[in-house]
Amino acid sequence: MQFDRHTLARWRRPIATMTRTWVTPGFIALHFAGIINSILPDACPMPGPSLPPSESTRVDKWLWAARFFKHRSAATDAVDGGRVKLNGASVKPARAVKVGDRIDITLADSTITVVVTAIAERRGSAEIARQLYTETDESIERRASARATRALSATPGTGLHGRPTKRDRRQIERLQRG
Listing DSSP states for 43-101 in one string gives: TS---STTSPPPSEEEHHHHHHHTTSSSSHHHHHHHHHTT-EEETTEE--TT-EEETT-
pLDDT digits 0-9 by tens, 130-163: 999 999 999 999 999 999 988 888 777 777 778 8
CA gap 45, 37 in Å, rounded:
8
CA distances (Å), origin 20, targets 13, 16, 31, 51: 10, 8, 18, 30
Residue 32 lies in domain: 1-51
| Shared-domain flag, residues 109 and 140 | yes
Domain with residue 79: its CATH number is 3.10.290.10
- The C-alpha atoms of residue 86 and residue 105 are separated, in whole angstroms, by 9
Q: 136 and 66: one domain? A: yes
Asked if 53 contacts 71 with a C-beta cutoff of 8 angstroms, the reply is no
Would 28 be classed as within a structural domain?
yes
Q: Which of 75, 68, 52, 54 is nearest to 120 (CA)?
A: 54
User: For 78-136, how does the pLDDT look when each residue is reduced to its tens digit (9 = 90+)?
Assistant: 999 999 999 999 999 999 999 999 999 999 888 999 999 999 989 999 999 999 999 99
Q: 32 falls in which pLDDT band (50, 70, 90)?
A: low
- CA end-to-end distance (rounded Å), the chain: 97
- The burial of 77, by beta-carbon neighbours within 10 Å (0-12 exposed, 13-18 middle, 19 or more buried), is given as middle
pTM of the model as a whole: 0.60
Same domain, 24 and 64: no
Based on the domain organization, do 17 and 69 belong to the same domain? no
